[in-house]
Structure 1
Amino acid sequence: MTLLLRVLACATVLLAPLEGYLQEVHPHLAKVAPGLLIVSWVAQRVRQRRWPAPHQLHALLALFGVVLLASSAVHAGDQFTMDYAQRFLPFLVITAVLVDVVAREVPVRAVLGAAVGGALFAALGALYSLVFEGEPRATGPLEDPNDLAYFLVVALPLLIALPARKFLLPVGAVLAAGAAATFSRGGGIALALAAVWLVARRGVSMRAVAATVGGLAVIGLGAVVFAGPVLDRALDEKKYIAATNVDTRELRWQAAARMLAANPALGVGPGGFRSNYAAASRNAEIDEQQPVAHNIYLEIGAELGLPGLACFLGAVALAFVATERVLRVSSDRRPMLAVQASLIAALVASTFLSEQYYLPIWSLVAVAIAAQVRVEERERDACVARHQ
């Protein structure tokens, strides 16, 4: 059963960025690994008669769930409420399950490696879609290039935690090339800030950063030489989209802020941003009446109110606190510095995207808390041993 939990936990993380490919095979195939993980975890804990070690995150996730259900009940008549509530709630459950599984059965590096592996496959798909399928911007396993960039830039900092050093450079090159092929400005900003954090915390050296930048320059030069027409078309497409995105995102952020101000207690319900956008924006976008907010903080706040937003930010804050506690006592700093940098990349990228329905932030929070639980259990065992 332990092996099964390890496989399912890693599969859940690895397959997350490949959701689009899985849905092409069957609409519900992407739910199989998480569903089996939850069922197997429950069966294992019942068999062992052993339940998760309590942590503040469990209370926060439970409160988040209560807010989500209460908001859903109040806005049950909305056309999107039940669908989005059913999409959101499993992420809270999966986060709690991953905390316990990674704290007991699955090594932290195995989960981080699974995240990198899934992103690597997604990056290869991204490059294939751009070069061979003629897409103006890389999509691959995800319909939106910006969502794809989110997965790739969040995975890149995790490379410093992996032991297989000789493979890191080529894997990093593929991830970076795939992210660049999406032409996502938010992804670029997120990755730059994550790199600054790693340098500041001495997770990577300036020499490594310089070598990475040089490698990206070589890749870019090769792309210009061998795929010039494709790049020209993609850049023209991006210029057109970029000018539109700046205006539309400002409109959507303003609309989300109005919804939050008008409904601070429980928001407008899960998915309510879409159904209320036309009214809140005063029909600012005639051709797009039901969009997403393109900002995770404003969208969660608008849909679940201030309590929901506080729960989300509280979970992220607990993750950062947990990583710092682990760093103080750990001889190997790389895994937790990698998690911190990836969280920063995810949070920055989510300023321009609505990513609460994708796994990276939730899995990173889970890994951070699980690492803290591991350390605390070792300290308790050592304390007991000293007193015997």
Structure 2
Amino acid sequence: MTSLVRGLTCATVFVAPLEGYLLQVHGHLAKVPPALLVLTWAVLRARHRRAPEPHPAHLVLAALAVVLLASWASHAGGAYTAAYALRWLPFLLVTVVLIDVVSREVPIRAVLAATVAGAVLAAVGALHGMVTEGQTRAAGPLEDPNDLAYFLVAALPLLLATRRRVLPAAAAVVLVAGAAATFSRGGALALTAAVAWLLARRALPLKALAGGVAALAVLGVAAVLLAGPELDRALREKSHVAGTNVDTRELRWQAAARMVADHPALGVGPGGFRAGYPAASNNAEIDEQTPVAHNMYLEVAAELGVPGFALFAALLALTAVVSERVRRTTPDPVPILAVQASLIAVVVASTFLSQQYYLPLWSLVAVVAAADLRLRRASDVACAPRDQ
């Protein structure tokens, strides 16, 4: 059963960026790996009569679940409340399960490798769609190109955790090409922040960065030569969309801020931003009545109130602090440095996207907590003979 847990853990993170493809096959197929993981984990722990090892992240997740349930109960009649609450809860549960299994049965590098593999496959699918279907922006398995960029950029730093050389280089080119083909400005900013962090920590060799830039330049020249007119059309469309996005996001952020001010205790309920946006924005967007906020932090604050946002921010802050502690004490800091850079990419990209409903944020939180538990356990074992 341990092998099954390992396989299901890797499958859960692997299929996350491929959700759109799975939904085309069946509406609930994307939920199968995490559901099986939770079930198998519960059976395994019950068989061994072993509870999960406690970690401070568990307290924050539990408190966040309490606020979520209270907000759900307070706004039970909302059009989207139940559906969005039931989107939140699985992420909280899966995070708890991932913390436990990655701290015990599943190697951290295996989880990171599966994350990268899923993102690479998503990038290949998106680039293939551009070539064969004439898409102007890479979207592939996800409806929004910006969401695809989020997955690809978040996965890119994790390549540092692999011990091989040739395969990560090829995967990096595919991920960067896929992210560039989305024309996502948020993705570009997130990638820049992650690279800057790795350079500051001396985890990314300048030679490797120069090689990546050169490879991307070659791909850019090839794209201009082979698909110049299509690329020009895509850039014009993106420029037009970009101007509109700036205006609409400002309207949505203002509406979210009003919701926080009007409902500070428990927010407007899960999914309440979509339902309350027309009223909060005074019907600012006639053609879009139920959008997302395109800012994870404002949307969480609007829907779960100040306590919910405080707990959500505390989870991110705790993860940052714990990751730095792990980096300083672990004998192999490269994987955690890669995770830190990926977290930075997630935090930056989420300023422009509502990404609390995608796995990368939660899986990275789980990996950091699991790495902390592994180190704590190793330290206890090392200290045991001295105590005796």
Q: TM-score, normalised by structure 2?
A: 0.99
Letter in 2 for 1:312: F
For residues 104-253 of structure 1, the aligned pairs below 5 Å read 104-253=104-253
RMSD: 0.8
Alpha carbons 1:322, 1:371 under 8 Å: kept? no
SS at match of 1:268: coil
CA contact (8 A) 1:138 1:178 kept: yes
Match of 1:310 in 2: 310
SS in 1 for 2:352: coil
2:377 matched residue in structure 1: 377
C-alpha separation in 2, matches of 1:97 and 1:249: 35
**Matched ranges for 1:4-15 at <5 A:** 4-15=4-15
Q: Is the 8 A contact 1:131 1:230 kept in 2?
A: no
Gaps of 5+ in 1: none
The separation in 2 between residues aligned to 1:202 and 1:314, in whole angstroms, is 28
**% identical equivalent positions:** 63
Name the CA distance, whole Å, in 1 between partners of 2:61 and 2:331: 30
Q: Note if 1:57 corresponds to 2:64.
A: no
- Matched letter for residue 254 of structure 2: Q
Query: Structure 1: how far apart are the matches of 2:120 and 2:198?
Result: 21
Query: What pairs with 1:36-115 in structure 2 (closer than 5 Å)?
Result: 36-115=36-115
Residue 258 of structure 1 corresponds to 258
* 1:153-194 alpha-carbon deviations (Å, 9 max, x no partner): 000010111112111111100000000110000000000010
- Distance in 2, matches of 1:84 and 1:249, equals 21
**Whole-Å separation in 1 of the counterparts to 2:357 and 2:329:** 33
Superimposed CA distance per residue, residues 256-312 of structure 1 (whole angstroms, 9 cap, x where no aligned partner): 000011111100000000010000001111110110000000000000011111111
Cα distance, 1:229 vs. partner? 2.1
Residue 148 of structure 1 deviates from its aligned partner by: 0.5
CA contact (8 A) 1:123 1:178 kept: yes
What amino acid sits opposite 1:204 in the alignment?
L
Structure 1 residues 24-33 or 133-142, which shifts more? 133-142
* Alpha-carbon offset, residue 255 of structure 1: 0.3
Letter in 2 for 1:338: A
Kept in 2: contact 1:318–1:369 (CA 8 A): no
Give the secondary structure class of the aligned counterpart of 2:177. helix
> Does structure 2 conserve the Cα–Cα contact (< 8 Å) formed by 1:297 and 1:351?
yes
Of the structure 1 ranges 164-173 and 91-100, higher mean CA displacement relative to structure 2 is found in: 164-173
Q: CA deviation at 1:386?
A: 2.5
Letter in 2 for 1:48: H
Match of 2:357 in 1: 357
The TM-score, its normalising length taken from structure 1, stands at: 0.99
The Cα shift of 1:207 comes to: 2.4
The answer as to whether partners of 1:91 and 1:359 remain within 8 angstroms in 2 is: yes
Q: Note the C-alpha offset of 1:331.
A: 2.3
Gapped runs of 5+ residues in structure 2? none
For residues 47 and 163 of structure 2, the distance between their equivalents in structure 1, rounded to whole angstroms, comes to 34
Equivalent residue number for residue 387 of structure 1: 387
Cα distance between partner residues in 1 of 2:310 and 2:39: 29
